[in-house]
Structure 1
Amino acid sequence: MTLPKIELHLHLEGAAPPAFIRGLSREKKIDISGIFAPDGSYAFRDFAHFLKVYEAATSVLTRPEDYHRLTLAVLEQSAASGVAYTEAFVSPDFCGGRDLGAWREYLHAITEAATEAERTMGITLRAIVTPIRHFGPARAKEVALCAAETAGPFVVGFGLAGDETVLTPKDFAWSFDMAREAGLRLTCHAGEWCGPDSIRDALRDLRVERIGHGVRAIEDLALVDELAERGVVLEVCPGSNIALGLYPGWRRHPIRELFHRGVKVTISTDDPPFFHTTMAREYDRLAEAFDWDDGVFRQIARTSLDAAFCDPDTRARIAPLLEPDHA
Structure 2
Amino acid sequence: MTDDVPKIELHLHLEGAAPPAFIKGLAQEKSIRLDGVFSENGSYAFTGFEQFLRTYEAATSVLKTPEDYARLTRAVLEQSAEQGVIYTEAFLSPDFCGGRDVGAWREYLAAMQEAAAGMRNEAGIVLRGVVTCIRHFGPEKARETALCAAETAGDFITGFGIAGDEMAGKPADFAYSFDMAREAGLELTAHAGEWGGASSVRDALRDLKPTRIGHGVQVIDDPVLVDHLIETGVTLEVCPGSNIALGVYPSWDKHPIETLRSAGVRVTVSTDDPPFFHTTLRREYDRLADTFGWDDEIVREVNRTAAQAAFCDPETRAELLLKLESTA
1:8-43 superposed Cα distances (whole Å, 9 cap, x missing partner): 000000000000000000000000031100000001
C-alpha distance in structure 1 between counterparts of 2:142 and 2:112, whole Å: 21
Task: Return the offset for 1:324.
Answer: 4.7
Deviation (angstroms), 1:150: 0.2
Query: TM-score by structure 1 length?
Result: 0.99
Identify the match of residue 68 of structure 1 among 57, 67, 70: 70
Determine which of 2, 14, 20 is the counterpart of 2:22: 20
In the TM superposition, what is the alpha-carbon distance from 1:112 to its structure 2 partner?
0.3
What amino acid is aligned across from residue 157 of structure 2 in structure 1?
V
SS in 2 for 1:201: helix
TM-score, normalised on structure 2?
Answer: 0.98
5 Å-filtered alignment, 1:117-128, equals: 117-128=119-130
1:307 is matched with 309
Paired letter, 2:102: L
Q: Which digits, 9 at most, give the CA deviation of each residue in 1:187-230, with x for residues without a partner?
A: 00000001111001110000110000000000011111110111
| Equivalent AA in structure 2 for residue 294 of structure 1 | D
Letter in 1 for 2:324: L
Q: CA RMSD of the aligned region, Å?
A: 0.7
Q: Gaps spanning 5+ residues in structure 2: where?
A: none
Find the counterpart in structure 2 of residue 42 from structure 1. Answer: 44
1:158 aligns with 2:138: no
Q: Which residue number in structure 2 is paired with residue 261 of structure 1?
A: 263
Partner in structure 2 of residue 54 of structure 1: 56
Deviations 1:47-83 (A, max 9, x none): 0000000000000000000000000000001000000
Letter in 2 for 1:120: E
- Mapped to 1, the partners of 2:116 and 2:327 lie a distance apart of 27
Deviation at 1:312, TM superposition (A): 0.6
CA gap of 1:325–1:14, structure 2 versus 1, over 3 A, is: closer
State the 1:313 CA deviation. 1.1
* Shift, 1:325, TM fit: 3.8
Partners of 2:56 and 2:246 lie apart in 1 by: 14
Q: Counterpart of 1:285?
A: 287
Aligned equivalent of 1:238, options 234, 237, 240:
240
Can you give the 5+ residue segments of structure 1 that lack an aligned partner in the other structure? none
> Residue 89 of structure 2: SS of its match in structure 1?
strand
Please tell me the residue identity of whatever aligns with 2:118: E
Deviations 1:73-121 (A, max 9, x none): 0000100000010000000000000000000000000000100010001
Specify the code of the residue in structure 2 equivalent to 1:243: A
2:99 alignment partner, SS class: coil
SS in 1 for 2:316: helix
1:188 is matched with which residue? 190
- Aligned pairs for 1:161-172 within 5 A: 161-172=163-174
Aligned residue for 1:34, secondary structure, equals: coil
Matches within 5 A, 1:86-101: 86-101=88-103
How far apart are 1:45 and its partner, in Å? 1.1
Q: What number of residue pairs does the alignment pair up?
A: 326
